[in-house]
Amino acid sequence: MPDNNPQKMLTHPFEGITTVEECLNVARIHHREADQLFEGAQLAQAEERAEEAKLLLDLAIARRARGEEFERAARGEINDPIIAEIREFEPEMFKNFTPNTQTYVAPDAELPPEWYEETKRPPLGPFARALAWLGTWIRE
């Protein structure tokens, strides 16, 4: 008899696989993107768009290096690269931290009279007036 419990069904593509398999999948994605970026750089170079070719080449090199990091993480040589990157920027985040402040400050001057007319509640309709009349009649 199959287990149809919805709590046991997989809902996320990476759910149910190990961290090693997940790192390898992410590494494959990074390598595929790097190959596409290298091809784009070669096409841009052939069409004499040097700036675009250099940018695509830099992105491809960075993407390939990131894929290799995920492969090393899958082999257990290093920790999770995403967590390592977050920890790398932690001191800078603490140093540059700015607390949340209120961005809107109410003006000290009176608002123009035409604004009061615009923000006034619309008048009650006939049904609401009748209901309000019944409410006051019942309270008496």
Taking the CA atoms of the chain, what radius of gyration do you get in angstroms?
A: 31
Total-model pTM = 0.48
Q: DSSP string covering 44-80, please?
A: HHHTT-HHHHHHHHHHHHHHHHHHHHHHHHHHTSS--
Dihedral (Cα; 41, 44, 48, 49), 10-degree rounding: -90
Show pLDDT as tens, one digit a residue, over the chain (140 residues): 445 544 444 444 545 566 777 778 888 999 999 999 999 999 999 999 999 999 999 999 999 998 988 888 888 777 666 766 666 677 787 787 777 777 766 766 777 778 777 888 888 889 988 888 888 888 87
